Amino acid sequence: MVFGKTVPDVSLNAVANLGYAEARWLSPVFEGDTLRSVSEVIGLKQNSNGQSGVVWVRTTGFNQRNEAVLEYVRWVMVRKRDLDAPAPETVIPDLKPVLHPEDLVIPEGLNFTGYNFTLAGEPHRFGDYEVGEKIDHVDGVTIEEAEHMVATRLWQNTAKVHFDATNRADGKRLIYGGHVISMARALSFNGLANAQMIVGLNGGAHANPCFAGDTVRAYSEVLDKAETATPGVGAVRLRLVAYKHGAPEFALKTDTGKYHPDVLLDLDYWALMPL
Amino acid sequence: MVFGKTVPDVSLNAVANLGYAEARWLSPVFEGDTLRSVSEVIGLKQNSNGQSGVVWVRTTGFNQRNEAVLEYVRWVMVRKRDLDAPAPETVIPDLKPVLHPEDLVIPEGLNFTGYNFTLAGEPHRFGDYEVGEKIDHVDGVTIEEAEHMVATRLWQNTAKVHFDATNRADGKRLIYGGHVISMARALSFNGLANAQMIVGLNGGAHANPCFAGDTVRAYSEVLDKAETATPGVGAVRLRLVAYKHGAPEFALKTDTGKYHPDVLLDLDYWALMPL
Amino acid sequence: MVFGKTVPDVSLNAVANLGYAEARWLSPVFEGDTLRSVSEVIGLKQNSNGQSGVVWVRTTGFNQRNEAVLEYVRWVMVRKRDLDAPAPETVIPDLKPVLHPEDLVIPEGLNFTGYNFTLAGEPHRFGDYEVGEKIDHVDGVTIEEAEHMVATRLWQNTAKVHFDATNRADGKRLIYGGHVISMARALSFNGLANAQMIVGLNGGAHANPCFAGDTVRAYSEVLDKAETATPGVGAVRLRLVAYKHGAPEFALKTDTGKYHPDVLLDLDYWALMPL
């Protein structure tokens, strides 16, 4: 929601979404909460062509009690309104490539010491995952137009390109990147069932566009692990990769350093897991 | 809902829906309310072919406290049950072509004097719209079978033609007119964001059928304006036209007086807007 | 839900779902209830090929107060894990082909003596149905991929074959049998509007696979009738048959004793109806 709400202000007319960083979930959100979001421009750089530039924005989501529930930075490429205006002063924000485990905000009162692995349905815990390990999430979901549009409306993302088949020359509707993230996170349950909640997002790239008819699959790579000050709670840094059916096993980038054309998403996040 | 509930009684086997008039929203409806509707036949006219006729019905929707929440008149063409029966006496009800602003029921306690245009996200107010002005709502939505069927079920409209692809010779499912109205009203947010609530419907025509795959667009025309006795609240009479992608700009009717084949909906309503 | 929740444990990797029996609804379930299910293996039989076998399981669903809300038996064909292991002792459970009316659990406090047939919208009551009578439910619904997947997720059934178009050689997604049951039961409202609630399931077969694009129709056959000890409440045993558009009238089986290829579902249940 907080992401979707920034679309009208930030990215509705953006040329491209370039990246995310320093996203932290700060308070839990419950059914019935009303969220709003505030965005602040924190960086600016004109492109060498003089016609477009990159804008960095830090967005904070608040609930109805004005408690911050989420904050994150994103940057997008936008067109320059007045081509004759002088280039603005370049300001590139100093962003952390990865959140430190101590930056993570763990919900108050969380305690995994009595975690019931039998009821959870999967025995794997913090100690069972090794840094460097890759997990194939096995399942796949074929994407339908009606489903991604319903989901995208729920997130209040109103960008034309997701709803209007006449918007692109090829007549395709682009699947909202948030939908691909959701599908991949849901698929990752098969193998990461006890990665209970996401508390930080270090970065992410929508590597290639996704369209209806694509069958989305996912794998994860364990990038780092850290214990926390909270009883029974460990933090696991995971790379979540969504890819199209048919991609080579654990595909990511090609020799040229670019994403493999069948890779849809490369997401780097911290999740909490019982020790 | 109240419209959909009349389908089994009034229009399930109707040959054609001909029109609406004098629709007024009388009380707000809240989550958890239970609605029912009562219809009264108020007019009757046998067609010259002797095989069908037009029936006018006034329907009132009530909530669980028996408060009227909505009333409206519609007329449909139906087949005659007993072809040998004598023609019934013709009764044509005296319907207002347009509701007078004083007919409109404004929800008790409504007050727009402190309206926050910044939070609303669009600055346009009552004074910014001129009679005769046309507003292009810019966005479009391509219709999917799964979406219109889900919406049509929510309204409890069970007419075969919306759900059963074997019902028409061309194998198409007709999109429920209520879905086209909803899509057009949603699209109109882009340009009429502060047209907060609909209080009256003067009339409406489903000008042409809509099918899955069509991309629906919309424009509005300001037909009239009136101040009301309620603080800060103005009433704007709007024509909402839904059309298929590809129609000429602001298309409505052709030289023959018929609707342009790409026009889907021509709706005439009163909405409330902050002064 | 209780059916869907057994998928991961019982049928995710099953070769085939073979049947249901002795299903009884034991307590009403309300919005906000949390359900869980427990399954017990009650029968076992190795197939003559030595590579697979049949497993009978009795599942009970409980609410958050540990009250049983539903119990049923199902049997599935599964692959043998260790082909060299000796065949287990054959245990075939003693299942009732049909629940006796006295086995049915009627919700406490139910009373149909003041049933309002006018508000219900259909006058037909217990006395109007005759054993042997067949009822054509008239309507049909054409199935969409997006709709059956949304429904199947609601029931928390995660079997690949329903979501992943790459799973079958023909590129089709199999419609979950529970979705076909739901569609058929909904269609049966037209003709059985006062068959208020299902209290027992004697058996059922998913006779043939269903795919998106199929138009589902249904008919019912009255198999038995019984009065109950509850005031105004009768029990009607019904066969509910779902079939694809184009099947012969009241199709069921062919001369060979197999299901007609256009029959999708053959369900045998007890419903309660006002006397």
- Of A53-62, B157-166, B209-218, C30-39, the range with the highest mean pLDDT is B209-218
Please list the ranges in chain C whose pLDDT falls under 50: 1, 4-12
The answer, yes or no, to whether residue B13 has pLDDT greater than 80, is: no
**Å between C158 CA and nearest CA of chain A:** 9
The answer, yes or no, to whether residue B41 has pLDDT greater than 80, is: yes
Contact A139 C166 (CB under 8 A): no
**A147 contacts on C by Cβ (under 8 Å):** 146, 149-150
Residue B123 gets which letter from DSSP? -
Q: Which of C8, C145, C158 sits opposite A144 (nearest CB)?
A: C145
Q: In chain A, whose CA is at the least distance from the CA of C151?
A: A147
**Per residue in A11-42, pLDDT tens?**
445 556 778 899 999 988 888 888 888 999 99
Q: What is the SS3 assignment for B132? A: coil
Amino acid at A66: N
pLDDT of residue A7: 45
C267/C275 Cα distance (integer angstroms):
23
**A149 contacts on C by Cβ (under 8 Å):** none
Q: Which of A121, A140, A145 sits opposite C166 (nearest CB)?
A: A140
Contact B164 C121 (CB under 8 A): no
The answer, yes or no, to whether residue B96 has pLDDT greater than 90, is: yes
Stretch B243-251: mean pLDDT, rounded?
97
Residue A167 gets which letter from DSSP? S
Amino acid at B218: A
DSSP string, B33-77: ---EEEEEEEEEEE-TTSSEEEEEEEEEEE-TT--EEEEEEEEEE
DSSP H helical segments within chain A, as ranges? 2-5, 117-120, 145-154, 177-187
Mutation target vs A (from B118, B122, B136, B141; most A CBs, 10 A cutoff): B141
Indicate the pLDDT class of residue A8, thresholds 50, 70 and 90. Answer: very low
Contact A141 C164 (CB under 8 A): yes
**B147 contacts on A by Cβ (under 8 Å):** 146, 149-150
Identify the residue with better confidence: A152 or A221. Answer: A221
pLDDT of residue C15: 58
pLDDT of residue A30: 86
**CA distance from start to end of chain C:** 31
Stretch B169-192: mean pLDDT, rounded?
94
Mutation target vs C (from A139, A144, A179, A214; most C CBs, 10 A cutoff): A144
pLDDT of residue C217: 97
At B75, list the tokens.
């007329």
**Å between B54 CA and nearest CA of chain A:** 37
**Is 0.90 exceeded by the ipTM?**
no
Subunits touching C (CB < 8 Å, at least 3 pairs)?
A: A, B
Mutation target vs A (from B31, B142, B152, B217; most A CBs, 10 A cutoff): B142
Q: Which of A145, A160, A165 sits opposite B139 (nearest CB)?
A: A160
Largest CA distance in chain A: 66
Is the CA virtual torsion C260, C265, C271, C273 positive or negative?
Answer: negative
CA dist list (Å): C87 to A271, B119, C52, C53, C93:
45, 71, 10, 9, 17
What's the pTM value of the predicted model, to 2 decimals?
0.85
The answer, yes or no, to whether residue A4 has pLDDT greater than 50, is: no
Interface of A with B (CB under 8 A): 8, 144-147, 149-150, 158, 160, 163-167, 173
C165/C241 Cα distance (integer angstroms):
27
Q: In chain C, whose CA is at the least distance from the CA of B8?
A: C121
pLDDT of residue C17: 74
**Per residue in A81-130, pLDDT tens?**
888 888 889 999 999 999 999 999 999 889 999 999 988 888 999 999 99
The answer, yes or no, to whether residue B16 has pLDDT greater than 80, is: no
Q: What does DSSP say about strands C233-244 and B233-244: parallel, antiparallel, or unpaired?
A: unpaired
A173/A143 Cα distance (integer angstroms):
12
Interface of B with C (CB under 8 A): 8, 144-147, 149-150, 158, 160, 163-167, 173
C181/C267 Cα distance (integer angstroms):
8
Q: In chain B, whose CA is at the least distance from the CA of C120?
A: B36
